[in-house]
Amino acid sequence: MTGVRPHTIKLILAKKMRGLIDSIEDEKIARTMVENIVISGGAITSLLLGERPNDYDVYFKTKRAVLDVADYYVERQKERIEVKEESVVNIKGIAEERVKFFIKSTGIEFVDAEEKDTLTEEAYKWLEESPDEAIEVIKLRLKEGKYHPIVFTDNAVSLSNKIQIIIRFWGTPKELHENFDFVHAMCWYDYDRNHLELPEEALLSILTKSLIYKGSLYPLASLFRIRKFMKRGWRISAGQILKIAMQVSQLDLKNPDVLREQLIGVDQAYMNMMVMRLTEAKASEQADTA
């Protein structure tokens, strides 16, 4: 399949976002989305390569928009999910503001999963890798309609129809991309302006299917993500891997809080269990030395 032209990509993304916005029952939230939506990440890359996007990552320009949209989707679930704000110390020792979902029990809730094709990559992966656990947790509400919440994690709310609402970061495209790791993902689309930006360095990376690491506050997640890209035919040089490894070496991975922050969005079910056991082990060690 040949790649999609930029004009057609804009049409595809605009149509997708119109469907999302039309699903919003609150007029204020719908208007907030119109004014604040920025799409960036793998969807645009996939379209340029002529591939079907696994999901569409939706970001917002302001923290207020993130909070309002997060509250809207939580209100539709109500049972055991809350939105909270916190500060997180990143790899550079800087405290950053965060918005996250606080899940009171299992941490994952599935809805409207009649067709796996409607799931985002994150939701489908969890269902595929942990079917026994998923079957116990999943709540099928098959008549809820399109763009319905499926999974809530620290990072995002995944909706049916392959939409992922990112709550972890917000800002202008330049500010958002400070949190990105690989150059090819830095194409972006502003819905309100109907503007598609295709940086030259990103296009070169996509054309050659070469992973170019720009540095990240979350290098451990980047290390895990390499596997996914290589399965899709991408390649990465030893020098790029070394750049990631050197950043990973700066992390205190024995600290459960650091590890949890680094692994958000990576093999969620398995990693959550590993972090939980590390936290329990550290608590036990502290109790023994008290």
**pLDDT tens sequence across 117-165:** 555 565 555 555 554 444 344 444 334 568 888 778 777 888 888 899 9
pLDDT surpassing 80 at residue 215: yes
Q: Of 193, 208, 223, which residue is a domain's last?
A: 208
**Looking at the domain assignment, is residue 220 inside a domain?**
no
Domains: count for the chain: 2
**Looking at the domain assignment, is residue 271 inside a domain?**
yes
Tokens of 214: 């720009």
**Looking at the domain assignment, is residue 34 inside a domain?**
yes
Tell me the average pLDDT across 12-37: 96
Structural domain for 113, as ranges: 6-208
Among 58, 62, 14, CA closest to 38: 58
Looking at 86-130, list the stretches that DSSP marks H as alpha helix, in order from N- to C-terminal side: 121-129
Angle, helices 27-36/6-22, rounded to nearest 10 degrees: 160
pLDDT surpassing 70 at residue 265: no
Among 221, 240, 120, 230, CA closest to 180: 221
Strand partners, 242: none
Sole residue written with tokens 């049916």: 160
- Full DSSP string of 137-148: H----TTS-SS-
User: Beta 163-166 vs 188-190: how paired, if at all?
Assistant: unpaired
pLDDT category at 197 given cuts 50, 70, 90 is: very high
pLDDT surpassing 70 at residue 269: no
**Looking at the domain assignment, is residue 215 inside a domain?**
no
**Looking at the domain assignment, is residue 142 inside a domain?**
yes
